[in-house]
Amino acid sequence: MKILGFLGSPRLNGNCSKLLRKALDGAESAGAETKVFELINYNIMDCRGCCNCFLNNPDLLIGECSLKDDVASILEEYIKADGYLFASPVYDVYVTALMKRFLERKIALTYRVPDSGTIMPFSRVPANFKKKASMIVTGNCSDEYSEEMGGPCYEAMEGHLMVEQVDTIDKLYVGSVETITGESFSERMNTAYQMGIRLVKEVEKARKE
């Protein structure tokens, strides 16, 4: 089983990175192979909105994109994986632009029949809810604001998952990151670890159904 992590923070040793790696450690302890995509280290260009990727050839696994960057290779790995962990800091009450830029490009995993009269795209590789995802969001606002800060971020990261037929299992908001005590952060690290384990178990369970 392969679980991929996507780090939306530009800080490679920040809170999201630590929590995401801990969650992936948990996934490994449950038997998964893991890989982290530090998105800042990839060339991810802005979607130009031409819609070629999703209006052309529904038989392709990944739509044709005129942008020649690293996204096609990331998506090749994406479709082969069994589960996903997304992690982003809150920037201006939303995911980082880095994470958003990547999420927008996942449109290449979907297609829409031209003139079908529907705006809903179809998944090129429907996961049939056998694949699962969990999410980690960190912010300066305290945990009391987890809904206000985490909510829009989860929504952004989940948007495509609905079309891809991937269930979300867990959502973790870790607030007050500037002032959080070591003890409290350790507890959240443990939660992240358990999330990783649970993600693997949920994929295994879904495979048996």
Residue ranges binding ligand FMN (CB under 6 A): 9, 11, 14-17, 89-93, 138-141, 149, 177
Longest dimension (CA), the chain: 57
Joined tokens for residue 168? 């979300």
Least spacing, CB of residue 7 vs ligand FMN, in Å:
8
CA distances in angstroms from 10 to 52, 85, 88, 91, listed in the order given: 29, 16, 9, 11
Q: In terms of CB distance, is 7 or 62 closer to ligand FMN?
A: 7
Least spacing, CB of residue 12 vs ligand FMN, in Å:
9
94: helix, coil or strand? coil
Cα 164 → chain centroid: 12
- Burial class (CB within 10 angstroms; exposed 0-12, middle 13-18, buried 19+) of 201: middle
Q: In terms of CB distance, is 91 or 122 closer to ligand FMN?
A: 91
Least spacing, CB of residue 180 vs ligand FMN, in Å:
9
Least spacing, CB of residue 72 vs ligand FMN, in Å:
27
Cα 111 → chain centroid: 20
Q: In terms of CB distance, is 9 or 110 closer to ligand FMN?
A: 9
Q: In terms of CB distance, is 178 or 183 closer to ligand FMN?
A: 178
